[in-house]
Amino acid sequence: MEGKKGSKTAILVLVIVAALLVMLSIPVFAQNSNNQLSMIALVLDTVLVGGVLSLYLGDFFEGKLKKAFFFVFVAIFIFAVNHLIETLLLFAGVEHFMNEIIHRGLHLIALGFLFYGFYRVNSICKTLPKKYLKG
């Protein structure tokens, strides 16, 4: 049991580190305005997507809660892949305005999944006995 808990913690740490690395790479990539592929941005975006996939494939939830969190994981995955898509579209020469429209559209789709996933989690929590909901 302890090994499983340790691996879950390691996956969570990987996702957090990947997210922080992507956040730190934003200023580096913002300076690359001549449509050249930034290897730093590409690698960090790929690490973020891998971290999200690792988090999803872990056994964190079971039963109805796992089904509800599926939508949350889809949202997180879209957010992660969205960075990768933006990086690749900039490299492909897609104009900045169109790239931003695509980026924001994917964010709206991800938010829909996120809200629906948390709605389902909330529905499950309402069925739990009060003793489990005390903070």
Residue 31's pLDDT is what?
A: 46
Give the residue-averaged pLDDT of 50-64: 71
Q: Which residues contact 62 (CB under 8 A, 6 or more apart)?
A: none
Note the residue count of the chain: 135
How distant, in Å, are the alpha carbons of 70, 112, 114, 124, 131 from that of 107?
17, 9, 10, 26, 36
- Is the pLDDT reported for residue 112 higher than 70? yes
Least reliable range by pLDDT among 1-5, 60-64, 93-97: 1-5
